[in-house]
């Protein structure tokens, strides 16, 4: 009976230790994701007023997308609400998208392509840790149509 208690105690301790280590690893990944979102400039477009205020925006409003359009030869694009987007896709799907997608300007898709898988997973975990917030942003507007609302105009391409 004593041996059974010892074995059960060891098993329980092992499960708790494994859970604690997994939670610590997830916390480190979320913190890494927060750091990457800040230094990679994700907030500059995907968080309203972030760049204009020098980053003085509460984290609870980060990455909710923006209604400020980016207009050029490609049409008009809007920074997606990443909190809704990331909440709807798995971490594995995000890594695949980040590795293969070529988004319209001004999104620096090539920066995502060049990140390590560990960093991409950390970004996903951080964004999901924020929880859903905000609303969808306007859809892409083709170059032959006028967008509604404010836009930043890019000069015509010379290529």
For residue 47, pLDDT beyond 60: yes
Helices (H), 40-116: 42-46, 82-88, 91-100, 109-114
**For helices 117-130 and 2-39, angle between their N-to-C axes, nearest 10 degrees:** 90
Q: Which two tokens stand for residue 2?
A: 């004593």
Q: pTM, whole model, 2 decimals?
A: 0.82
Mean pLDDT value of segment 78-106: 97
Q: Where are the domains of the chain?
A: 2-153
Q: What is the mean pLDDT of residues 141-156?
A: 93
In this predicted structure, what is the pLDDT of residue 27?
A: 92
Tokens of 84: 């809704």
Residue 20 has pLDDT above 60, yes or no: no
Does the pLDDT value for residue 6 go beyond 80?
no
* Count of CA atoms in the C-beta half-sphere (13 A) of 66: 22
Averaged confidence pLDDT in the chain: 90
Q: How confident is the model at residue 21 (pLDDT cuts 50, 70, 90)?
A: very low
């Amino acid at each position: 009976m004593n041996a059974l208690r010892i074995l059960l105690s060891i098993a329980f301790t092992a499960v708790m230790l494994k859970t604690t280590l997994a939670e610590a690893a997830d916390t480190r990944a979320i913190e890494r994701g927060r750091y990457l979102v800040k230094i990679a400039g994700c907030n500059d477009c995907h968080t309203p007023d972030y760049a204009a205020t020098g980053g003085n925006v509460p984290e609870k409003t980060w990455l909710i997308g923006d209604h400020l359009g980016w207009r050029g030869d490609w049409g008009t694009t809007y920074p997606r609400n990443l909190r809704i987007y990331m909440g709807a896709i798995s971490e594995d799907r995000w890594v695949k998208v980040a590795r293969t997608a070529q988004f319209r300007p001004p999104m620096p898709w090539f920066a995502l392509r060049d990140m390590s898988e560990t960093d991409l997973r950390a970004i996903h975990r951080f964004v999901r840790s924020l929880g859903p917030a905000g609303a969808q942003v306007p859809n892409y507007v083709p170059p032959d149509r006028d967008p509604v609302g404010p836009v930043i105009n890019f000069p015509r391409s010379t290529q």
